[in-house]
Amino acid sequence: MRSPKRCGTSTAWLTEGMASSSTRKRRPEMDQSELTNLERMRIQMEYAVPLIRDLQRLLGEEAVKEALASRVALLAEEQAQPGSKADFSRMEAGMELYARGGALDYDVIAWDGDRFDVNITRCDYMRMMEDLDARDIGHLLICNLDYPIAARAGMDLARSQTQMQGASFCDFRYRRRA
């Protein structure tokens, strides 16, 4: 085996023997529009969870959890659009998007011009985080993102429980922002 050149600025040794980009086989591009939200989230979490676990070992579990919670709170604040009109149809469309592929079962409790109340009775996002042994941080990475989504749609979200944190259902209570 030939040893690489170490003098000057030549980097030819890095690419010697490699196929040129025009002759190298390319993987077919994946059409991400065919992925469900749950599938996209799984791809993200398979990368994020090990990184977060490493950070927890280095910095401490609570410090990392606080940082995640602070980041989502900041995102919610940034997404809030003062004076924006509440759009409850966006919440229904969002619920359908997150449920696509059978990821959620939910019951609409109330829906009128001032509120949209939904109970999630089955959640595959929770099961996914359980599979990744990360249910303890799932509410920080997934569930708490519901707040910035509500803020962007001109609403406030109140929720007292999630399946991710052990409840039998998640209670979403969207209200028109005052």
Task: Return the closest-CA partner of residue 164 out of 176, 114, 131.
Answer: 131
Instruction: Enumerate domains of the chain plus CATH numbers.
Output: 37-176 (3.30.1380)
Q: According to the model, what pLDDT value does residue 89 have? A: 80
Report whether pLDDT(159) > 90. yes
Residue of 9 and 42 predicted with greater confidence: 42
CA distances (Å), origin 77, targets 71, 80, 82, 145, 176: 10, 5, 10, 12, 16
pLDDT at residue number 175: 92
Is 98 exposed, middle or buried, given 0-12, 13-18 or 19+ CB atoms closer than 10 A? Answer: buried
pLDDT in tens, 92-103: 888 899 999 999
Q: What's the CA gap between 148 and 79, in Å, rounded?
A: 6
pLDDT bracket for residue 29 (50, 70, 90):
low
Residues 6+ apart with CB under 8 A from 93: none
pTM across the whole model:
0.77
Q: From CA 52, how far away is CA 50, in angstroms rounded?
A: 5
> Could you give the maximum distance between any two Cα atoms of the chain, in Å?
74
Average pLDDT over residues 24-41: 76
- The string of pLDDT tens digits covering residues 131-157 is 999 999 999 999 999 988 888 888 899
Question: 10 or 31, which is more confident?
Answer: 31
